Structure 1
Amino acid sequence: MKPTTGRIVRYRGKQGLLAMRAAIVTADIETLDPRGVEQGLIPALDSDQHVHLWVFTPGESGGFTEYNVAPGDEPGQWSWPPRV
């Protein structure tokens, strides 16, 4: 399944406890603005499976952005939530 903007995914952190967090896809290969990439405002995506994310965290900051995130189960990657 191809990731699309607005979908909820899971993101495993790269630092600290490598915690699994909820995230939302903020840009995919179809919705990424090429003008922003050309101007250096936002990174390009390496493939149609890579996405930009807003990762939700507990606490005052509420979250952080991750760019050009690949799919997978390793730290720094996104995956689909399990079906329940």
Structure 2
Amino acid sequence: MDGHNLEDSKQSTADMSVFQSRFQTMSESIITKIDEMGDRINELEQSINDLKAEMGMEGSPSPLAPPKQKSDGANQEDDSA
């Protein structure tokens, strides 16, 4: 039985090595893709800023965060609080 356990142990160690190798490869691939995505986002942000500068809108707020519009006064909040 000791020989059988030794073989199982060797197989388990080999399986773990294969698993670790695959995990490392997948991790590196994911990190590379995240880095590439970050670079693309940075390029997109720069392109947007360049377009805004060309249009003379450097100081305007982001279109994702439109300024609060005040209505008839019924729903105005006191911002000084």
User: Per chain length, whose mean CA-contact separation is higher, i.e. which structure has more relative contact order (CA < 8 Å, sep 6+)?
Assistant: 1
TM-score by length of 1: 0.17
> Whose strand proportion is higher, 1 or 2?
1
> Whose helix proportion is higher, 1 or 2?
2
Choose 1 or 2 for highest CA Rg. 2
